[in-house]
Amino acid sequence: MGVRSMILSILDIKSSVTEIAVSPDGSEIAFVYRGDVFVTSADYSTSKQITSTPEQERSVSFSPDGKAILYAGEKTEAGMFTKPK
């Protein structure tokens, strides 16, 4: 990927991320990108898409112990993703 492609990718992501939450220990970042929930390590070495629905997810946050990612859905009342050990 060239520099121009990287810059365009960063700009696309920046303009489409609507919410961000940092895990209690600071090791992970959850965010809503184009209506779906994603989680990435703080050093961006690993990323995972948590939801993939036609509806919009929002209000992303971590549980106090950092073991779950909570979010609200447009059509469903709420969701929770428990991270595998």
pTM, whole model, 2 decimals? Answer: 0.74
Q: pLDDT tens digits, residue range 68-77? A: 998 888 766 5
Rg (CA), the chain: 13
Backbone conformation region of residue 64, classed left if phi is above 0, alpha if psi is from -120 to 50, else beta: alpha
Q: pLDDT tens digits, residue range 16-45? A: 888 889 999 999 989 898 889 999 888 888
